Amino acid sequence: MDRPNVLLIVLDCVRADRLPPTTNRENTTPSIDSFSMDSTIFSNATTVAPWTLPSHGSMFTGLYSSEHGAVSLERRRIRPDVKTLAEILSDAGYETVAVCQNDSVVSIGKTTGLDRGFSTFYGTDEIIATSVHRRLCNVHGLKTLLNIYSTFLLNRHLTELSISLIKKTLKKSHEKDEKPLFMFVNLLNAHFPYEDGVPSKRSLRRLLETVRRARSHTVPAPIQRQLKQLATKNEFTEQEFAKLRQEYNECVQFMDEQLGELFNFMRNHQIIDKTLIIITADHGENIGDHGLLGHDLSVHDSLLRVPLIIRYPKKFPTNTTVSRQVEIRRIFHTIVDVVLGSGVGDYLRTDPSLLNEAQHPGDAEDYVYGEYFPSRRELSILEEYGARLGDQDIKDSTRFVRDKSFKYVESGTSLGTLYSTKNEDMPIDRVENAEQYDSLNDRLQTWKNQLHAPAGDEADKTVFDEKEDKILTERLQALGYN
């Protein structure tokens, strides 16, 4: 069997309305627009969790977050008994490489288990070190110097280094032609605060300020304001949100330029048609939407709706848009199906591949599900910033089901709330809309009962050593979490 390379590109925090098929984007992503003409676009793709860790966990395992176990800052490691996509492909003879900019202690890496199965894992420090010498990243004390180098002195942006590393890896694999390649890429440009990372004349002052904050665990000013906005919903003016949206768009545009270079390289080296390429996001972003900033304490569509573009002409039709709702956790099943050619195998959740929707699009009714577990630490810090959480605010475990017209949201033990997908700020009267309310409530309860969650105390157990807990505490303090 002639097995394709697999390139999974996750554009962290990129909303669905910034990429195709949305047309009113002021030509900010011409490279991805061109790429999508040879692809299948899923115009109603959703994440099953609105932040990085559980969403990636679902893409890597095909499971919902309460099934794979990495659900919150407090419960942040995937179950050891569940195989990841990288482990499955490694067992199938693939070389497995990650180029990951979001490798924090609560995101994608060793401490959460999402590095399992990758024979080579390039985190931020390793990406930077490739511009010097990869082995230097293990020298004692050098990581701190590399971070300073990256932030203030680097003449090339981290994403430029990432794309260069991806091209080198693809070319080497193509020339050796020994093993097919699975490469996971996470680009973090669109994460708040929205900065392009280009050095400026203020570099020295910023360097001194960063060192001072690191020593005192002072919360950076942009993060302080973000937390105040989450707590009070009145920290930013509309003019400031408009500026943030422009900065966000510029970050997306920069990633598009870099990906355009990558796609041209793959075409020039006859790699692109031999590769299953998937472009998606782990979640979206609130930029003033619903009075929020970032991707905390929300299950609004501004976070749940994400882009999903798949290119592999041997299997997926070109210039095709699929309008059915689909969950991006099924990326797992799709890659396994295309690579192994024998369905999804004997895994906990054997959902169909997205090939079904791509090859046989239809208008049948469909539903998507998901969940969000807010951190106790997060809620406590918001209280310190003056939060007065109301009945419609998320302050407990939350699950949702969505069809194309309505979303039903259930938090804690409270009665669920019904919203129109056209206006998520105003709950719909459940008596006047009893049919929709009861139908989605029944579907959510059925879905909850079918979850393959860990049994007993295993669901609440996260094992970290003293060093890992210390690192986590320091990084959370730097972000304002006590």
Give CA–CA dist 461/375, Å, rounded. Answer: 15
- pLDDT beyond 70 at 144: no
Averaged confidence pLDDT in the chain: 85
Instruction: Identify any residues that bridge with 40 across adjacent strands, giving them in sequence order.
Output: 310, 320
Structure tokens at 389: 């959480």
- pLDDT beyond 90 at 34: yes
Output the CATH code of domain 5-365+457-478: 3.40.720.10
Name the residue ranges covered by the structural domains of the chain.
Answer: 5-365+457-478
Give CA–CA dist 98/118, Å, rounded. Answer: 7
Give CA–CA dist 37/327, Å, rounded. Answer: 22
Give CA–CA dist 45/55, Å, rounded. Answer: 13
Give CA–CA dist 86/95, Å, rounded. Answer: 9
Instruction: Return the minimum-mean-pLDDT range out of 35-39, 129-133, 199-203, 270-274.
Output: 199-203
The string of DSSP codes covering 386-421 is T----TTS--S-EEEEE-SSEEEEEETTSPPEEEET
* Coil, strand or helix at 326: strand
CA distances 220 to 209, 273, 399, Å, are 9, 44, 32
Structure tokens at 6: 């697999």
Instruction: Identify any residues that bridge with 409 across adjacent strands, giving them in sequence order.
Output: 400, 417
What pLDDT, on a 0 to 100 scale, did the predictor assign at position 366?
A: 87
pTM of the entire structure?
A: 0.89
Q: To the nearest whole percent, how much of the chain has pLDDT over 90? A: 60
Residue 254, class by beta-carbon neighbours within 10 Å (0-12 exposed, 13-18 middle, 19+ buried)? Answer: buried
Phi, psi of 188, rounded to the nearest 5 degrees: -110, 10
Give the other-Cβ count within 10 Å of 256's Cβ.
22
- 72-101 pLDDT, tens digit per residue, is 988 889 999 999 999 999 999 999 999 999
> Of all helices (H) and strands (E), which one includes residue 446?
helix 434-449
Residue the block writes with tokens 């097919």: 180
Residue 23, class by beta-carbon neighbours within 10 Å (0-12 exposed, 13-18 middle, 19+ buried)? Answer: exposed
Please provide the distance, in angstroms rounded to a whole number, between the alpha carbons at the two ends of the chain.
Answer: 53
Does residue 427 have a cis peptide bond before it, meaning omega lies within 30 degrees of 0? no
Give CA–CA dist 170/294, Å, rounded. Answer: 33
Contact indicator for 41, 124 with CB cutoff of 8 Å: no
Give CA–CA dist 121/127, Å, rounded. Answer: 10
Instruction: Return the minimum-mean-pLDDT range out of 30-44, 208-222, 287-301, 419-433.
Output: 208-222
What pLDDT, on a 0 to 100 scale, did the predictor assign at position 379?
A: 84
Mean pLDDT of 462-482: 51
How confident is residue 207, by pLDDT bands cut at 50, 70 and 90?
A: very low
DSSP state of 353: P
Instruction: Return the minimum-mean-pLDDT range out of 187-196, 245-254, 375-384, 463-472.
Output: 463-472
Residues 6+ apart with CB under 8 A from 171: 269, 271
CA distances 38 to 31, 161, 316, Å, are 12, 27, 9
Instruction: Identify any residues that bridge with 186 across adjacent strands, giving them in sequence order.
Output: 10, 100
Give CA–CA dist 462/52, Å, rounded. Answer: 18
What pLDDT, on a 0 to 100 scale, did the predictor assign at position 315?
A: 94
The string of DSSP codes covering 236-282 is S-HHHHHHHHHHHHHHHHHHHHHHHHHHHHHHHTT-GGGEEEEEE-S
Give CA–CA dist 442/464, Å, rounded. Answer: 38
How many CA atoms are closer than 13 Å to the CA of 261, on its beta-carbon side? Answer: 15
Q: To the nearest whole percent, how much of the chain has pLDDT over 70? A: 79
> Of all helices (H) and strands (E), which one includes residue 187?
strand 181-187
Please tell me which residue, 152 or 276, carries the higher pLDDT value: 276
What pLDDT, on a 0 to 100 scale, did the predictor assign at position 269?
A: 96
Give CA–CA dist 78/359, Å, rounded. Answer: 33
